[in-house]
Amino acid sequence: MTDLIVSLKEVNKTYQVGEQGLCVLNKVSLNINKGEYISIMGPSGSGKSTLLNMIGLLDRPDTGQYLLHNSSTTDKTEEYRAELRKKHIGFIFQNFHLIPRLTALENAELPLVLTGLPRKERRKIVKTIFSQLGIENRSDHLPKQLSGGQLQRVAIARALVMNPEILLADEPTGNLDQASGKEVIELLESLNKQGITLLIVTHDKAIGQRAHRQLSMIDGKISQDKDNHQINRATQ
Amino acid sequence: MNWLDSSSYSWQALARHKVRTLLLLLAVAIGVASVLILTSLGEGAKRFIEQEFNALGNQVLIILPGKKETTGGSVPIYGTSPRDLTIEDANAIAKISTVKIMAPIIAGTTLVSYQSKSREVITLGSTQAIFPVRKLTIGQGKALPKSSDNFSSPVCVLGAKIKQELFGNNVAIGEWVRFSGQRFRVIGILAERGESMGLDLREMAIIPIRSAESLFNSPSLFRILLELNQTGSEIYTEEKIRQIIAKRHDGEDDISILSQNALMSSFSNILTLVTASIGAIAAISLVVAGFLIMNVSYVSVSRRREEIGLLKAIGATAKEVRQLFLIESFMLVSLGVIAGTVFGYGVVTLASYFWPDFPLAIPWWSPIASSSVALAIGLLFSWLPASYAARQDPVLALRGY
Ligand SMILES: Nc1ncnc2c1ncn2[C@@H]1O[C@H](COP(=O)(O)OP(=O)(O)OP(=O)(O)O)[C@@H](O)[C@H]1O
Ligand SMILES: [Mg+2]
């Protein structure tokens, strides 16, 4: 369990706001091993989403290093980073980001469409994941015909179809009620048990504390890095 | 991402915004259709003129008195004092071996009257040969007799319209009419044929050339029409004619010779050029459609930033995003081209049904040119919005800013 996947070294990110720069990530260093379950908490504006986007290769650090599987990503072209993103990373968002004109199934298969996989094989993969997530009978529904919990399941399915190693969830329960939020979290945890590396950004303490490793961020710095792994193992 | 998937993705995006798609499609379709319809008018004019020339036969030479100014372009401008062309000149020309038929023409206007009715009529004095050379057909009665080639005789052939005006529905054959007071017997009526080369044959009368000579009191010829034995002998014949005329006119070949073929091909060339220019002007509407597509595409990209952000988050490259937007425009323009082509051909078909005399036809190059211009403009004008889409920062786009 010590396969290093993600390694951030002194990553800085500054936004130019007006005259002075706003330092959103301040020399953040972070190592993530395969299969970890990490929550990121902290006050609004502390840089949680920025950190997650950085790990997901959507954003580039101004300075510092980001190694994915021990190879540098910061010096790569956007094309190559998109390729890495497609292969290794699944995103889940607070507001789902499903395309309204596409059915649940079409939304979920989108990453596979990008790879050029034939339709038949795509459908097979999506169906399997849909039945795992309990939404197999919602395949042909449009997003507007689905509940929040179902929408997030479709989004999770979309993140899973490429079989990524890392799942990045930015406040996945933010738009859900308590019950369906809990269901989604349990779903993500079960995926983590199957080996996926899981990062959840959340404001919900209860959810954050379920994670084996809890990061706290304040003003662009990781102020606390608590590894409950052993404790959690013991209690379960 | 394979082409089928890209297309169906773009298709869904188009289908989602039906009104927008339909309006843009209409803009392209109108552009394409107007190119087709306008060029069909030009092509129709060209065919109309070719038809007219062909009706006259294509081995025809026309000799006019007076030398054409070589600097004056293709329209003959007469010299100051040309020698008259005479019947004797014409007879000498008729002896050239390549000349099959020769018809001399004296022309003038006369007052033709029958009983109490009368009217001004362009009267051609000629020989029997004018009928085959100008492809005139007799509707009733007969043509000028052979004897009228050399002798005056008081007979005439009337155009159908004149006959109608003077006689109404009564029988005209055998009746006597007066040409400026002189009596002529009507022996034939021309079949309806309509206009030919600017002369309305329905409004003319034909009498023997010698009779015309005395009627107009002048032996000078208006034209000499020649039909040649074989194609390709125009140049030789022209040379021969000039030699003969020079010999007879104190060393000056003071005539102009028009060849049917040369005239026709210069007309055709001009009209092709005109047609192409009309098409190019109509293509301006395609440019307008292009601007429309560009504007609407910018709006559409701004509205779909979330979608673009998502595509990038799941691993789409900038290239793929641009490709998606380009395919969308390409499909839109293609549909517009198809609709416009169908509409254009439909209108032209309908128009030629209601207006059968005019040979409306869309030239072969018109649909090719208009659709390639439309597609080129479509891609060109959507390149900027598509690149704008591809440039979107996924983080900002996902946050909806
Ligand atoms: N494009 C930008 N330009 C300028 N400032 C930005 C930009 N994006 C983010 N920021 C700033 O960076 C800081 C961190 O943003 P980030 O979205 O990472 O916060 P967060 O921890 O996710 O907050 P929240 O819990 O509210 O989602 C914020 O102060 C924000 O104002
Ligand atoms: Mg955030």
Tell me if A206 is assigned to some domain: yes
Q: How far apart (Å, rounded) are the C-alpha atoms in residues A154 and B310?
A: 14
Whose C-alpha lies nearest to ligand 1, atom 12? A24
Count how many domains chain A has. Answer: 1
Q: How many angstroms does the Cα of residue A230 sit away from the middle of ligand 2?
A: 29
Listed ranges A19-23, A194-198, B192-196, B274-278; the one with the highest mean pLDDT = A194-198
C-alpha distances out from residue B91 to B64, B127, B219, B227, Å: 15, 12, 13, 14
The pLDDT, as a whole number, for residue A233 is: 47
Q: Which two tokens stand for residue B112?
A: 């033709």
User: Which ipTM did the prediction report?
Assistant: 0.90
Are B320 and B392 contacting, i.e. CB atoms less than 8 angstroms apart?
Answer: no
The pLDDT, as a whole number, for residue A1 is: 47
pLDDT digit string (tens) for B380-395?
Answer: 899 999 999 999 999 9
Q: Which two tokens stand for residue A97?
A: 């980001």
Q: CB of B394 within 8 Å of any CB in chain A?
A: yes
Average pLDDT, chain B: 86
Q: How far apart (Å, rounded) are the C-alpha atoms in residues B82 and B111?
A: 28
The pLDDT, as a whole number, for residue B79 is: 45
Closest CA to A182 of A149, A212, A225: A149
Tell me if A31 is assigned to some domain: no
Region B81-92 average pLDDT: 83
The pLDDT, as a whole number, for residue A235 is: 43
Contact partners, residue B241, CB within 8 Å, separation at least 6? B61, B63, B93, B96, B253, B255, B257
Region B224-251 average pLDDT: 86
Percent of chain A clearing pLDDT 90 (strictly above)? 80
The pLDDT, as a whole number, for residue B197 is: 53
SS3 state of residue B109: strand
Greater confidence, A117 or B52? Answer: A117
Angle between helices B260-282 and B365-391 (to 10 degrees): 20
Whether this prediction's pTM lies above 0.80 is answered by no
Alpha helices in B118-233 (DSSP H): 130-133, 160-167, 209-216
Q: How far apart (Å, rounded) are the C-alpha atoms in residues B368 and B346?
A: 17
Tell me if A59 is assigned to some domain: no
Region B339-343 average pLDDT: 96
Closest CA to B329 of B393, B384, B265: B384
Judge if the beta carbon of residue A46 lies within 6 A of ligand 1.
yes
Tell me if A173 is assigned to some domain: yes
pLDDT digit string (tens) for A77-105?
Answer: 989 999 999 999 999 999 999 999 999 99
C-alpha distances out from residue A30 to A25, A37, A39, A114, A228, Å: 12, 14, 13, 31, 16
Alpha helices in B249-317 (DSSP H): 260-282, 284-303, 305-313
Tell me if A128 is assigned to some domain: yes
Is the model's pLDDT at A230 over the cut of 60? no
Tell me if A89 is assigned to some domain: yes
To the nearest whole angstrom, how far is the Cα of A4 from the nearest Cα of chain B?
Answer: 22
Q: In chain B, which residues have their Cβ closer than 8 Å to the Cβ of A106?
A: 12
What residue numbers bound the domain in which A224 lies?
Answer: 4-18+77-235
Judge if the beta carbon of residue A24 lies within 6 A of ligand 1.
yes
pLDDT digit string (tens) for B11-46?
Answer: 888 988 889 899 999 999 999 999 999 999 988 988
The residue to which tokens 């399941």 are assigned: A153
The pLDDT, as a whole number, for residue B82 is: 63
Average pLDDT, chain A: 91
Judge if the beta carbon of residue A15 lies within 6 A of ligand 1.
yes
C-alpha distances out from residue B216 to A9, B63, B101, B249, Å: 113, 20, 25, 23
Ligand 1 atom closest to the CA of A43, numbered from 1: 25
Is the model's pLDDT at B267 over the cut of 90? no
How many contacts (CB atoms, under 8 Å) link A and B? 64
The pLDDT, as a whole number, for residue B73 is: 44
Region B224-243 average pLDDT: 85
To the nearest whole angstrom, how far is the Cα of B399 from the nearest Cα of chain A?
Answer: 10
Tell me if A63 is assigned to some domain: no
Greater confidence, B210 or B252? Answer: B210
Amino acid code (one letter) for A12: N
- Tell me, letter by letter, the H, E, C secondary structure of chain A: CCCEEEEEEEEEEEEECCCCEEEEEEEEEEEEECCCEEEEECCCCCCHHHHHHHHCCCCCCCEEEEEECCEECCCCCHHHHHHHHHHHEEEECCCCCCCCCCCHHHHHCHHHHHHCCCHHHHHHHHHHHHHHHCCHHHCCCCHHHCCHHHHHHHHHHHHHCCCCCEEEEECCCCCCCHHHHHHHHHHHHHHHHCCCEEEEECCCHHHHHHCCEEEEEECCEEEEEEECHHHHHHHC
Ligand 1 pocket test: pick from A22, A25, A94, A218 the residue with the most ligand atoms within 8 Å of its Cβ.
A22
Q: Which two tokens stand for residue A180?
A: 């369906």
Q: How far apart (Å, rounded) are the C-alpha atoms in residues B130 and B109?
A: 18
The pLDDT, as a whole number, for residue B57 is: 64
The pLDDT, as a whole number, for residue B311 is: 94
Tell me if A44 is assigned to some domain: no
CA A218 to chain centre: 20
Q: How far apart (Å, rounded) are the C-alpha atoms in residues B357 and B360?
A: 9
Q: What is the CATH number of the domain that holds A200?
A: 3.40.50.300
Are B154 and B184 contacting, i.e. CB atoms less than 8 angstroms apart?
Answer: yes
Region B248-264 average pLDDT: 81
pLDDT digit string (tens) for A139-154?
Answer: 999 999 999 999 999 9
- Tell me, letter by letter, the H, E, C secondary structure of A172-198: CCCCCCHHHHHHHHHHHHHHHHCCCEE
The pLDDT, as a whole number, for residue B229 is: 84
**Considering only CB atoms, which residues of chain A are within 8 Å of chain B?**
53, 56, 58-59, 78-79, 82-83, 85-87, 91, 93, 97, 99, 101-102, 106, 110-111, 113-116, 119, 158, 162
Region A74-79 average pLDDT: 90
Are B96 and B242 contacting, i.e. CB atoms less than 8 angstroms apart?
Answer: no
Greater confidence, B116 or B265? Answer: B116
Region A17-28 average pLDDT: 88
The residue to which tokens 């032996």 are assigned: B219
Closest CA to B210 of B351, B91, B341: B91
Is the model's pLDDT at B58 over the cut of 70? no
pLDDT digit string (tens) for B344-359?
Answer: 999 999 999 998 888 8
Which residues is A68 bridged to in the sheet?
A6, A71
Q: Are B313 and A58 an interchain contact pair (Cβ–Cβ within 8 Å)?
A: yes
Query: What single DSSP character describes residue B147?
Result: G
pLDDT digit string (tens) for B173-223?
Answer: 999 999 998 999 999 999 876 555 556 778 889 999 999 998 998 888 998
Region B61-82 average pLDDT: 60
The pLDDT, as a whole number, for residue B196 is: 55
Is the model's pLDDT at A201 over the cut of 60? yes
Q: What is the DSSP pairing of strand B204-208 with strand B117-126?
A: parallel
pLDDT confidence band for B56 (50 / 70 / 90): low
Q: How many CB atoms lie within 10 A of CB B237?
A: 21
The torsion of the CA quartet A34, A39, A43, A46, rounded to 10 degrees, works out to: 10
Q: How far apart (Å, rounded) are the C-alpha atoms in residues B294 and B296?
A: 6
